[in-house]
């Protein structure tokens, strides 16, 4: 006579179901990090390295011979991948006697933990934008992402156009001032460059203010009939992982994609095993990643 089988005889089936639950939960969770960063698959190795090159000067009048120019070596950037992992253990009897479908909820918790970890570190690019942050990368310029002390290797004056830091609270007036400041960014040789602010990134506390700035037909907080110059000009990105209730950022979205990189060395993976002697089932999630900014001329941060 065949011996009746119980759920613990099908732990491989349970594992497949748990993996499906993890994958489906992870894929549907909100992901602002992938909007902020240019997400790439990392090459093999412990880090990713970049070296900046400056720009050429303007064309010169042609008088029979071509004028040749040289490019300045810029700053070096190294992004170092870091590992993150978490696991859980479940005894056999808990699996056998799971009358309330609690087991199905456990992989979803790991998925949420993984996503929360990635979002937290992704937002770090903004929450630490006013400090020299070496957790995931090193930048040889040696100043914060948003700073009034940016330098250049070309020998050009940095008196104007090298400041992407403000302390203004979010308002229609400060948005206008930010736009002017960004449009006046200089390249590495002090030359005029094309920066087009298209985005405003905010914490939840500033949602109402930002919505009024970009959605009001009339000029905000005035009694006249002047048109609102900010109407429909910016995309608002609200991110609850931005920890400051007052800091906000204006960005050139296209330039951001060229200069803010996220590297998945090992994408989030979910695996399981069982202990032969204790019958304990184990599940774990693992990932390895890094990020870095290359050039700063895509963002203006307001350290309010």
Domain ranges of the chain: 8-52+75-302
d(CA 242, CA 236): 14
Greatest extent of the chain over all pairs of C-alpha atoms, in Å: 102
> Of residues 108 and 201, which shows the higher confidence score?
201
pLDDT band, residue 99 (cuts 50/70/90): very low
Residue 254 confidence (pLDDT): 96
Residue pair 277/158 in contact (Cβ under 8 Å)? The answer is no
The verdict on domain 8-52+75-302 having CATH code 1.10.3470 is no
Q: Which of 283, 262, 257, 198 is nearest to 232 (CA)?
A: 198
Local confidence band at 104 (pLDDT 50, 70, 90 cut-offs): low
Token pair listed for 296: 């700063």
Q: Quick one: residue 298, left, alpha or beta (phi over 0 = left, psi -120 to 50 = alpha)? A: alpha
Q: Are 8 and 98 in contact (CB under 8 A)?
A: no
pLDDT at 29: 74
pLDDT in tens, 206-264: 999 999 999 998 888 777 778 899 999 999 999 999 999 999 999 999 999 999 999 99
C-alpha closest to that of 210 among 183, 250, 243, 179:
250
17-59 pLDDT, tens digit each: 677 777 777 777 778 999 999 999 988 778 898 888 877 788 8
Measured CA to CA, the distance from residue 155 to residue 188 in angstroms comes to: 9
């Amino acid at each position: 006579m065949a011996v009746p089988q119980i759920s613990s005889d099908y732990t491989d089936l349970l594992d497949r179901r748990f993996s499906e639950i993890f994958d489906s939960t992870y894929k549907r969770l909100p992901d602002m990090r992938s909007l902020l960063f240019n997400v790439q698959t990392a090459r093999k190795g412990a880090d990713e390295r970049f070296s900046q090159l400056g720009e050429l000067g303007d064309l010169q009048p042609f008088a029979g011979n071509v004028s040749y120019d040289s490019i300045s070596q810029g700053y070096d950037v190294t992004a170092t991948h870091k590992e993150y992992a978490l696991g859980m253990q479940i005894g056999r009897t808990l699996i056998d006697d799971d009358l309330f479908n609690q087991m199905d909820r456990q992989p979803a918790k790991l998925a949420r933990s993984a996503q929360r970890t990635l979002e937290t570190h992704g937002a770090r690019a903004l929450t630490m934008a006013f400090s020299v942050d070496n957790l995931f990368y090193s930048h040889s310029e040696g100043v914060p992402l948003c700073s009034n002390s940016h330098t250049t290797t070309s020998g050009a004056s940095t008196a104007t156009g090298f400041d992407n830091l403000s302390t203004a609270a979010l308002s229609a007036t400060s948005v206008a001032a930010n736009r002017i400041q960004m449009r006046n960014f200089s390249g590495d040789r002090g030359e005029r460059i094309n920066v087009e602010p298209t985005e405003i990134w905010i914490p939840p506390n500033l949602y109402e203010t930002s919505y009024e700035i970009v959605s009001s037909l009339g000029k905000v907080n005035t009694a006249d009939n002047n048109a609102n110059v900010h109407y429909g000009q910016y995309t608002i990105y609200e991110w609850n992982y931005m920890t400051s209730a007052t800091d906000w950022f204006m960005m050139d979205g296209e330039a951001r994609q060229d200069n803010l990189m996220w590297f998945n060395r090992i994408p989030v993976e979910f695996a399981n095993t069982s202990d032969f002697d204790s019958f304990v089932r184990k599940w774990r999630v693992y990932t390895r990643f890094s990020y870095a900014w290359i050039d700063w001329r895509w963002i203006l941060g307001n350290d309010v």
